[in-house]
Amino acid sequence: MTASAAADLAIETHELTKRFRAQVAVDDIDLAVPRGAVYGFLGPNGSGKTTTIRMLLGLVGATAGSARVLGEEMPRHLDSVLPRVGALVEGPAFSPYLSGEQNLRRFDAADRHAPSRTRDARVAAALDRVGLSHAARKKAHAYSLGMKQRLGLANALLMPRELLVLDEPTNGLDPQGTREVRSLVRSLAADGTTVFVSSHLLAEVEQLCTHVGVMSVGRLVTQGTLDEFRASGEERVEVLTPDPGQTRAVLARLGLAVDASVDAAGAAVEGAALVTALLADHAPEPDAIVAALVADGVRVRGFAVRRTSLEQRFVELTGEGFDVVA
């Protein structure tokens, strides 16, 4: 990688590895997170996501490999990097008998880079940004899980940040809270902040992220833009017709790999069947396929081209299902 390309990365790792005795938690990964991106870090539980984040923040040491955050080698330059990074990792931990506002003031006072003269204004602004102004004086032990998650986000936003690292930021939030966090992350990205977000919610990643990396059993199995990830899947044509045999024959003649059986989801729709086939690179355009079917006398009641969903791509890469609840 050239020096200019490396300078465009907020996070960069080379062969980053973490072993816990005989267990390899993170195995030789090369992350490349562009500055200004919203990077979705995906993977099943136990795939190494949180361990990777902890290494990036200097919370645990790497067994092998290297990591650079905001252009600086970690953990060698922790003191100069961490003030530029906001983080919410493994859920927030607060003093239960202090109010939300008092907790934030306490954390801010512990930050030697945070000016005390602007503390009141910054705490108030952070609470307002995450929608907790009304609960600023409520004791933290009375906060719901979602409110604690918001308070953790407020803590990460007390100072201007170049990079925000979020581990499951919508955990415990209701749909409205989830939308608000999504809007907050978008506004931060629009202001130039790079956001690195670990999430198990596929719908959130699709709506929020510009880039994606997928972990499986400690390894980074793919990364790139969200559009590239979508495009790497297969495209299939679906034809709803009362003439399935004739349809298969036409599709095969056009060079499409026809599925051997009728799709169960469309096996019986008012006497019609759903025939599916893989749309290869050399296949005719969709309108030409429809024209060929009609010309051969096929009664076409429905036609669609569908790309492999993000969930299907995830299963293909990891062999595991995914939580898609929004």
- Each residue's pLDDT, cut to its tens digit, for the chain (326 residues) gives 555 455 699 999 999 999 998 899 999 999 999 999 999 998 887 889 999 999 999 999 999 999 999 999 999 999 999 999 999 886 667 999 999 999 999 999 988 889 999 999 999 999 998 889 999 999 999 998 888 888 988 999 999 999 999 988 887 778 887 888 888 888 888 889 999 999 877 777 888 899 999 998 899 998 999 888 877 767 788 999 999 999 999 998 998 888 875 544 444 556 788 888 887 767 788 899 999 999 999 999 999 888 766 777 777 777 665 544 33
Superfamily of domain 3-230: P-loop containing nucleotide triphosphate hydrolases (3.40.50.300)
Question: What does each C-alpha distance from 218 to 14, 60, 317 come to in angstroms?
Answer: 14, 16, 13
Pick the closest to residue 100 from 59, 164, 146 (CA basis): 146
Q: Are strands 194-198 and 38-42 parallel, antiparallel or unpaired?
A: parallel
The enclosing H or E element of 168 equals: none
Distance CA 113, CA 122 (A): 13
Whether residue 70 contacts residue 163, with contact meaning beta carbons closer than 8 Å, is answered with: yes
pTM of the model: 0.76
Q: What are phi and psi of 120, to 5 degrees?
A: -60, -45
Q: How far apart are the first and last CA of the chain?
A: 37
Comma-separated ranges of CATH 3.40.50.300 domains in the chain: 3-230
Calculate Rg over the CA atoms of the chain. Answer: 25
CATH of 234-307 among 3.10.129.10, 3.30.70.260, 3.10.290.10, 1.25.60.10:
3.30.70.260
Cα diameter, the chain: 79
Comma-separated ranges of CATH 3.30.70.260 domains in the chain: 234-307
Q: What are phi and psi of 205, to 5 degrees?
A: -60, -45
